[in-house]
């Protein structure tokens, strides 16, 4: 993965308000013009890409932010899903509806 951080323009990440229900984990605010322009610029930079992976991170300051995950498999390495992201069954009692 590239060491350069690519921040997501037009997307703000915030913790939910104190009055939010427990199942609300974070809030995303998207400024449509800025985010749309950023997505278009990423598509222009990598026209063969169909997907973008964005990671929500916490900075040293405690502020949350969105960063583009730029990892790609090398030519001699097949694409694989990290073990931590392997599909796991979702228990029905965890869904709020």
Residue 53: inside a domain: yes
- The structural domain count of the chain equals 1
pTM for this entry: 0.67
What percent of the chain clears pLDDT 70, i.e. is strictly above it?
76
Phi-psi region of 10 (alpha: psi -120 to 50; beta: other; left: phi over 0): left
Residue 35: inside a domain: yes
Residue 13: inside a domain: yes
Q: Which domain covers residue 57, as residue numbers?
A: 1-71
Give 92's pLDDT tier (boundaries 50, 70, 90). low
Determine which of 1-5, 37-41, 43-47, 78-82 has the lowest per-residue pLDDT on average: 78-82
Mind giving me the DSSP string for 30-59? E-HHHHHHHHHHHHHHSTT----EEEEEE-
Per-residue confidence (pLDDT) for residue 33, from 0 to 100: 96
Give 28's pLDDT tier (boundaries 50, 70, 90). very high
Residue 33: inside a domain: yes
Residue 96: inside a domain: no
Backbone angles phi, psi at 59, to 5 degrees: -75, 170
């Amino acid at each position: 993965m590239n060491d350069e951080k690519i921040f997501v323009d037009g997307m703000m990440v915030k913790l939910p308000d104190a009055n939010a229900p427990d199942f609300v984990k974070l809030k995303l605010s998207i400024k449509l013009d800025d985010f749309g322009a950023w997505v278009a610029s990423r598509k222009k930079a990598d026209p063969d890409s169909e997907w973008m992976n964005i990671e929500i991170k916490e900075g040293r300051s405690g502020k949350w932010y969105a960063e583009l995950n730029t990892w790609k498999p090398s030519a001699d390495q097949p694409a694989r899903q990290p073990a931590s992201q392997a599909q796991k069954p979702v228990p029905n009692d965890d869904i709020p509806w």
